[in-house]
Amino acid sequence: MPTARSSVPHTAPSSAAIARQAEGAIVLDGVDKWYGTVHVLKSVSLSVSNGEKVVVCGPSGSGKSTLIRCINGLERHQNGRISVEGVEVVDRTLRQIRREVGMVFQSFNLFPHLTILQNCMLAPMESRKLSREEARDRSIEYLSRVHISEQADKYPAQLSGGQQQRAAIARALCMQPRIMLFDEPTSALDPEMISEVLDTMMELAASGMTMVCVTHEMGFAQKVADRVVFMDEGAIAEVGPPDQLFNSPSSERLALFLRRILSH
Amino acid sequence: MLIGIAIGTIGGIVLTSLLPGLRQVVRTYVTTIRGIPVLVQIVFWYNGLSALTNGAVNLPAYFAGILALGINEGAYMTEIVRAGIQSVDRGQREASQALSLSYVSMMRSVILPQAVRIAIPPTGNQVINLIKNTSLLFAIAIPEIFATGTNLFSMNFKYFEVIAVVAIWYLILAFGYGLIQRALERHFGRGRIGLFGSGAT
């Protein structure tokens, strides 16, 4: 069914298809967003290609969470253009885009009244129209991929934070998205649980998934990221490969930020 | 009489969380109904409506009684269901949206099951109130428990005994509902660890 809609651009010759190829997985072009009078995203432009891993960092309030939440339309931008795999993010494309874009939240946001398995099965059954059996098989597959298949019949509150976050990752993967967004996935976790979640994310990265992660885990960025985006006051201050950004920051603002987060 | 609550509950669920245009209508409904005594409402549906329409609409007493109590319950239930829905964490909505769930799927599978858990205790108050409010139906000559009782003691003058039996009947009904409520709370509380207890009950 998504193919029916994505074939619409063919009315404008095949240039649309070519544009999609060239455009990459996610394109933000001059995106602005205000909360009331506060300008939280200032003409942000960024392009993420297929299979690329981008880590977004920056001080709190710099707009990094807002930025990735605009990509799947949880926050709506007011100016500029965002497109995901060539489909522009507008009201009527939201559900189509969200089928292909998984998201993991800082606070997990698992459904507390459903078991881990039911958490995973819900969306594939409701928005991908899988049968109960297919959804169950797929859920068990992804739960074992994040190494918690033995917790499938427990409720979220019975799991540790790290297990809950891995369950949330599995839940998102069950939709078989082509892009994954991570909004500070380890910020709510105890130190010893951070590594188990990061390991899961690294395995996912190795599988070729396109990933955009807001995180302060610089070790993860160093190992996994193709590019690091440093945001400050609602704008992209610096972009580059992790080595370049971390070892020779070109702005005083980034150097200061790095000193602060690496000092402890 | 329980049909009355059913109408009220469904009305409450459907009407609270919908479009802004409907919201104003619902708000007016809630304000109006909550502002008028139940007894007045009962008499309105039975006698008032028929007078207003010159006898064209003349509801049978039972129907008028069910309608009056149902519509009255609906107003209170609307507020209870609204409180339940609003108590559900925003993250639940965001996670549902990020998973591409439709509005209907989100409400049915994620939001309402959690809202119901919050709504059960105040709904219990409503159910018991409704059971007791049925005693007002004596005003439109429905032979409910209280009316039956008054008929009895007007014949045998045993005021205390009859009223005690009437009271016990109401108690039995309220107690019976209490059992049902506990089962409901267990069902909708699954997966939750209590505030002071440990383990999901």
Nearest to A157 among B98, B114, B193 (CB): B193
In angstroms, the CA B141 to CA A232 distance is 74
Contact B77, B12 (CB under 8 A): yes
Give chain A's contact residues with B (Cβ, < 8 Å).
Answer: 72-74, 94-95, 98-99, 101-103, 105, 107, 109-115, 122-123, 126-127, 155-158, 168, 171-172, 175
Model ipTM?
0.85
Higher pLDDT, A19 or B46: B46
Edge to edge, the sheet with strand A26-35 lists A38-48, A26-35, A79-84, A87-88
State whether A172 and B98 contact (CB < 8 Å). yes
Residues of B in contact with A103 (CB under 8 A): 95, 98
* Chain position carrying tokens 């130190």: A191
CA distance B8 to chain A (A): 25
Confidence of residue A212 (pLDDT cuts 50, 70, 90): very high
Mode of pairing for the β-strands spanning A53-57 and A101-104: unpaired
Residues of B in contact with A127 (CB under 8 A): 99-102, 105
In angstroms, the CA B131 to CA B74 distance is 15
State whether A122 and B101 contact (CB < 8 Å). yes
Nearest to B94 among A99, A101, A105 (CB): A105
Q: Bridge partners of A240?
A: A228
DSSP assignments along A28-93, one per residue: EEEEEEEETTEEEEEEEEEEE-TT-EEEEE-STTSSHHHHHHHHTTSS--SEEEEEETTEE--GGG
Find the helix packing angle between B61-87 and B20-35, rounded to 10°. Answer: 120
For residue range A217-231, what is the model confidence (pLDDT) as tens digits? 999 999 999 999 999
What local confidence, expressed as pLDDT, does residue B12 receive? 60
Q: What is the pLDDT along chain B (201 residues), one digit of tens a residue?
A: 555 556 566 656 655 555 667 777 888 888 899 999 999 998 899 888 888 888 777 888 888 888 888 888 888 888 888 888 888 999 999 999 999 999 889 989 999 899 888 888 998 888 888 888 888 887 777 777 888 888 888 888 888 888 888 889 889 988 988 899 998 888 888 887 777 654 444
In angstroms, the CA A186 to CA A184 distance is 6
The phi, psi pair for B197, rounded to 5°, reads -85, 175
**Helix H or strand E segment including B113:** helix B112-133
In angstroms, the CA A228 to CA A245 distance is 7
Of A23-27, A35-39, A132-136, B32-36, least confident by mean pLDDT is A23-27
How far from the centroid of its chain's Cα atoms is residue A174's Cα?
A: 15
Query: Which residue of chain A is at minimal alpha-carbon distance from B89?
Result: A109
User: Which amino acid appears at position A254 of this protein?
Assistant: L
State whether B99 and A112 contact (CB < 8 Å). no
Mode of pairing for the β-strands spanning A87-88 and A79-84: antiparallel
Which residue of B93, B94, B96, B100 to mutate against A (max A Cβ within 10 Å)? B100
Question: What is the end-to-end Cα distance of chain A in Å, rounded?
Answer: 50
Residues of A in contact with B109 (CB under 8 A): 111, 114, 122, 126
For residue range A86-141, what is the model confidence (pLDDT) as tens digits? 999 999 999 999 999 999 999 999 999 999 999 999 999 999 999 999 999 999 99
Contact B75, B82 (CB under 8 A): no
Contact A166, A104 (CB under 8 A): no
In angstroms, the CA B39 to CA B123 distance is 21
Q: Domains for chain B: give ranges and CATH numbers.
A: 2-199 (1.10.3720.10)
Edge to edge, the sheet with strand A235-240 lists A101-104, A179-183, A210-214, A53-57, A227-232, A235-240
Picking from A129, A72, A99, the residue whose alpha carbon sits closest to that of residue B100 is A99
Q: Bridge partners of A183?
A: A214
What local confidence, expressed as pLDDT, does residue B149 receive? 81
User: Which amino acid appears at position B46 of this protein?
Assistant: Y
Confidence of residue A7 (pLDDT cuts 50, 70, 90): very low
Contact B61, B142 (CB under 8 A): yes
Q: Where are the alpha helices (DSSP H) in chain A?
A: 2-6, 15-23, 64-71, 94-100, 116-127, 132-145, 161-173, 191-206, 218-224, 242-247, 252-262
Q: Can you give the pTM of this predicted structure?
A: 0.83
Is A20's pLDDT higher than 70? no
State whether A155 and B117 contact (CB < 8 Å). no
**Average pLDDT over all residues of chain A:** 89
Contact A189, A165 (CB under 8 A): yes
CA distance A21 to chain B (A): 24
State whether A157 and B113 contact (CB < 8 Å). no
Residues in chain B, total:
201
DSSP assignments along B29-65, one per residue: HHHHHHHS-HHHHHHIIIIIHHHHTTTSS---HHHHH
Picking from B6, B200, B16, the residue whose alpha carbon sits closest to that of residue B107 is B16
